Chain A
Amino acid sequence: MKKTSSLMLALVIALSVASSGCGRTAQISEAKKAYTIGMIVKGLGNPFMEACGKGFEEALKEYGDRAIYQGPSIPTAEGQIEIIENFIAQKIDAIVITANDAQAVVPALKKAMDAGIKVISFDSSVAAEGRLVHVNQADAKLIGRLQIQAMAEMIDYKGEIAILSAGATMTNQNAWIKYMEEELRNKKYSGMKLVTVVYGDDLRDKSYNEAMGLFKAYPNLKGIIAPTAVGLAAAANAITDAGLIGKVKLTGLGLPSEMAQWIKNGACESMFLWNPVDLGYLAGQAAHSLVTGEITGKVGEKFIAGKLGEREIIKDPTGGVQIMLGFPFKFDKSNIDKWKDIY
């Protein structure tokens, strides 16, 4: 028994040393100063986030900067704060973050900024006081309106619709839903009725169950809007399984690669998304420009964002400043094959 315990201990030490041994790989020795920029995503294993990370790394590679891609294993603000603290201790140059909670990460990010770290938010914004710039994928109002318009055309401006969202506390989704509701108040949509908003928590089985539940709880349901990638794919799967293709229409925000199957079989006629690779790329470019001092985060400043060309810092209507990526892109049967292998 004594032997076992010593053996265990030896094993542990060996393991620790072995794993630390592989920890010393990334050493950049270039004449030019290489910066270290960390990206904090909502959670690991999320396809959308992975795509953003790809673009981010691509952008930093152009300058020889070091990119760190990190996220908590469950998408919580607490996990993100731990990573932020870590980054502060490591004295990295900039943090690019998509917040799980716009408010909760602010104190930690303020501490980071006090330590001289440049903070940029992308995708899900951080409250204005916790960041220098926000990289905005597209105007929230536009995103909301586009989905309602698409749905209205599909169901001919009349009938019951429902929204299948991610978590109840998601900043982005809540903003979009708010604008969707606002858009629905418009007279031309008077025949449409939003019956409920349900939350699938971005879990595949729960989203699927919620979608199935919608068909039964609201037998007259004509359409579902799912402004989240997991929810949209799960809803499409549910519509297919329930044999409701054509009877219940579906639109929302989703990844082409995930949705290719469902767009082709008609469960989802069309959906929207911006290019997540470009979004990560732009965030990386902006972070580098901030670190070099090319921009400081004032309205009107311009910089060259690599392959995306010149970008300007503009005012963010919700506070602070932002950089716009562009407009949401519409995916349907005609163009899905082109995009499904890209992201």
Chain B
Amino acid sequence: MIMHSIRRLIKKKFKINYIFRQWEWILIILIIIVNAINAQISPYYLNAEGLLDATMVFLDKGFAVLAMAFVIILGDIDISVASIMALSSVVMAVAYSAGVSMVASILAGLLTGTLCGFFNGILISRFKELSSIIVTLSTMSIYRGIAYVILGDKSVGNFPSWFSYFAWGYIGKTHIPFILVVFIFCAIAFGILLHRTTFGRKVYATGNNFEASLYSGVPVEKIKMIVFTLMGLMSAVSAIFLTSRLGSSRPNIALGYELEIIAIVVLGGVSTRGGVWQNSWGKPFAFPDGFYKIWNGIKKYSRSSYDDYYWFAFDYSFNYPQHIEQNDKKEKRDK
């Protein structure tokens, strides 16, 4: 099995065209192109500080993205993520303003997120007739609704000053953002979880063929529960960074994040049909999207109008090489 895959890999490496057929490569090339263009447009773009700072802007979503990859690999979807973020953030802020210590408040936020995810997981694995899209569509309203019930039209802030370090701080005297380090750490952890543990393999198996996994003894329900709970937890982690970035919390934070998060995952190469068409390491899915955004912003900046963002959408939409997936299938069939 291993020998076979190695042989396959070597065989493939020698095909020059192969690099174009590997989605990661296309992403990397795109990032380089985008950065080159940015540098051309703006003299300020290509400095390390700017680029590192740029990562701070979009990485708060990154944590939820990592878990969303698991959910989508399962063939499910979770559109309640942004609402979980809002609720966790609100609970954290309200707890702190009620006199609980900041550390305990953060834990309360994480717990809230986990519970939300757990609730999603229960509903989805208990009622097999219900697809995850409809369950999370309703909990999307419920979680954010609860946040509104708790906080109404108010916003709560005044966190201790060290809390802002999460989203605004740098490591020591360097210019490396704290959030970037945490994200890389999480990305590696998730990569290992997905590719080097039995749990990860079971997630793949469930996503690729639910029935077969069920009959071969994979505890599919338990896997779903765990993945959705994990999704909740990671949403709460995202919420902490986002709250730190905003310096305050209110029920309508992270509005519309769910689509962005899902888009990043799908753009990162995870198929919404379940499974992945290219096995890869826990790649930083969030990067390409973020750089697109920055690029987009800078283009706007240089033209001082907003009319060009549909160009960006063009690249966005043309880029998903579904045909590669089909190629792979075809190859398998040929064998």
Contacts and interface: CB of A to CB of B under 8 A. Distances in A.
Of the four ranges (under 10, 10 to 19, 20 to 34, 35 or more), the interface on chain A belongs to 35 or more
Nearest to B247: A107
B256 A74 contact: yes
Contacts of A19: 299, 308, 311-312
A217 interface: no
B247 A78 contact: no
Contact of B250 (A1, A70, A90, A101): A101
B153 A111 contact: no
A337 B251 CA distance: 41
A174 B154 CA distance: 10
Interface string B36-58: 01001110110000100110111
Contact of B54 (A15, A77, A89): A89
Given A5-B324, A8-B319, A20-B40, A101 B246 contact: yes
A169 B294 contact: no
Interface stretch (B26-34, B71-79, B121-129, B184-192): B26-34
A85 B303 contact: no
A31 interface: no
Interface stretch (A22-30, A277-285, A295-303, A312-320): A22-30
Contacts of A5: 17, 20-21, 321, 323-324
B256 A76 contact: yes
A86 B34 contact: no
Given A5-B324, A90-B298, A69 B304 contact: yes
A82 interface: yes
Given A12-B315, A19-B299, A107 B17 contact: no
Contacts of B29: 9
A106 B255 contact: no
Contact of B53 (A74, A83, A89): A89
B157 interface: yes
A15 to B, nearest CB: 6
Contact of B315 (A15, A68, A90): A15
B248 A101 contact: yes
A103 B157 contact: yes
A69 B306 contact: yes
A115 B100 CA distance: 34
Contact of B41 (A11, A20, A68, A88): A20
Interface in A212-250: none
Nearest to B301: A90
Nearest to B309: A73
A88 B42 CA distance: 13
Contacts of A81: 57, 245-246
A16 interface: yes
A2 B311 contact: no
B155 A111 contact: no
B294 A86 contact: yes
Nearest to B326: A1
Contacts of B148: 168
Contact of A107 (B245, B257, B312): B245
Contact of B323 (A4, A24, A82, A167): A4
B251 A85 contact: no
Contacts of A138: none
A5 B18 CA distance: 10
Contact of A71 (B26, B53, B306): B306
Nearest to A103: B248
B168 interface: yes
A54 interface: no
B253 interface: yes
A85 B164 contact: no
A111 B168 contact: yes
B97 interface: no
B297 interface: yes
Nearest to B18: A2
Nearest to B56: A85
Contacts of B246: 77-78, 81, 101, 103-105, 107
Nearest to A27: B302
A63 to B, nearest CB: 15
B79 to A, nearest CB: 16
A53 to B, nearest CB: 10
Contact of B17 (A2, A77, A101): A2
Contact of B301 (A8, A68, A77, A82): A68
B153 A174 contact: yes
B293 interface: yes
A293 to B, nearest CB: 23
A329 B20 CA distance: 62
Contact of A82 (B40, B293, B303, B324): B293
A291 interface: no
Nearest to B151: A169
A38 B41 CA distance: 17
B300 interface: yes
A24 to B, nearest CB: 7
A104 B41 contact: no
25 contacts: A8-B321, A11-B318, A15-B311, A19-B299, A19-B311, A23-B302, A25-B302, A26-B304, A68-B301, A71-B306, A78-B255, A81-B57, A82-B297, A85-B57, A86-B57, A89-B45, A91-B44, A101-B246, A106-B248, A107-B167, A107-B247, A168-B153, A169-B155, A169-B251, A169-B252
User: What 6 pairs across the A-B complex have the smallest Cβ distances?
Assistant: A103-B248, A104-B246, A19-B311, A86-B297, A20-B37, A168-B153
Given A103-B155, A105-B246, A168-B153, 4 more contacts: A25-B302, A25-B303, A44-B306, A82-B57
